[in-house]
Amino acid sequence: MYKVLKREKIVPNIHHLVIESDIIHTNAQAGEFIVVRADEPGERIPLNIADWDEKSVSAVFMEIGTSTRKLAALKAGDEIATLVGPLGKPTEMVEGKNILCIGGCYGIGALLPVVRALKKNGNRIITAIEARSEYLLYWQEKLKEHSDDFYEITRDGTRGFKGHVNDFLAGYLKQNKVDMVYVQGCTYLTYLTSETTRPLEVKTIVGLNPIMVDATGMCGVCRVIVAGETKFGCVDGPEFDGHLVDWQNLLSRRKIYLKEEVYSLSFYECETYG
């Protein structure tokens, strides 16, 4: 069992979870993920590592279905049944580049170690975070600390640039020299970013989130098609060149258990709240 040191709601529906671990920091790197299971009958789910130190590892998660509901109900001092990691390939380190790093929803948290590592490696970092509205943005100060420039994008215009990430990107890339775009967040955000940068031929690295089971390359559930080849998100990724990803395949595979997920959540809610 693994002790929860903190579980805090950062903005509506998004939580920061800190779990005790004195081992993950020994080889954790930016871009990697952990697998957690809230309780014994629960499902193993992957979460990007948002930070770590000598005593803990943390993740930012969005409350969406049964497993994340269970995580959202945790308090400091509770225990979870499984913690595995770090898993996946770390972010490829480049140097001397102008890199635009984009994060949305839980991807704002997942962006922190990547921004920090790329900055430390001698890159110029422009960070842009996006949300539907101002009250859904978070971790601005943490990200600014490792960024040369910082932008906020809100669809309703309550803070920063008004519009979608693609509107911001199209304008920004016209006026500024960017060698690479890096994006973390939901599949729609990573897809939209890749489609916007494709005609401009700006290399775009995306953090993908296919459904995973074992997360160690054994079951094949996380397969994605990249440059026409089958790759396993858990061991070959989770980061890939967004211009080479077969997005239709990824988007349809993410919905294959929708019926079971709805059933599971209804069952959980009935059991929990009667």
Q: Could you list the residues that contact ligand FAD (CB under 6 A)?
A: 33, 43, 45-48, 59-62, 64-68, 106, 110, 209-212, 233, 238, 254-255, 258, 261, 265
Taking a C-beta distance cutoff of 8 angstroms, is the pair 143, 63 a contact?
no
Strands 180-184 and 203-207: parallel
Pattern 204-223, ligand FES, x by CB under 6 A: --------xxxx-xxxxxx-
CB nearer to ligand FAD: pick between 227 and 262: 262
61 binds, among ligand FAD, ligand FES, none (CB under 5 to 8 A by kind): ligand FAD
In this structure, are residues 170 and 181 in contact, taking their beta carbons and an 8 Å threshold?
no
Residue 64 partner contact from ligand FES, ligand FAD, none using kind-dependent CB cut-offs of 5 to 8 Å: ligand FAD
Residue whose CB is less far from ligand FES, 218 or 227: 218
Strands 98-104 and 180-184: parallel
Residue 179 burial (CB count, 10 A): 14
Report d(CA 103, CA 58) in Å as an integer.
Answer: 17
- Residue reference for tokens 């440059």: 227
Given ligand FAD, ligand FES, none, residue 48, with its beta carbon under 5 to 8 Å by kind, binds ligand FAD
Binding partner selected for residue 59 from ligand FES, ligand FAD, none, CB under the kind-specific 5 to 8 Å limit: ligand FAD
| Cβ 110 to ligand FAD shortest distance, Å | 5
214 binds, among ligand FES, ligand FAD, none (CB under 5 to 8 A by kind): ligand FES
Instruction: Provide the minimum distance between the beta carbon of 85 and ligand FAD in the complex, in angstroms, as a whole number.
Output: 11
End-to-end CA distance of the chain: 28
Q: Considering beta carbons, is residue 18 or 202 the nearer one to ligand FAD?
A: 18
Residue with Cβ nearer ligand FES (42 or 163): 42
Pick the closest to residue 214 from 37, 74, 57, 22 (CA basis): 37
Q: Is the peptide bond prior to 238 cis by the omega test (within 30 degrees of 0)?
A: yes
Q: Quote the strand ranges of the chain, DSSP E.
A: 2-11, 14-20, 33-37, 45-48, 51-52, 56-62, 79-80, 82-87, 98-104, 124-131, 149-154, 161-162, 180-184, 203-207, 223-226, 229-232, 239-241
Q: Which range in 3-11, 126-134, 230-238, 243-251 contacts ligand FES by CB under 6 A?
A: 230-238
The answer to whether 195 contacts ligand FES (rule: CB under 6 A) is no
The footprint of ligand FES (CB under 6 A) covers 212-215, 217-222, 232-234
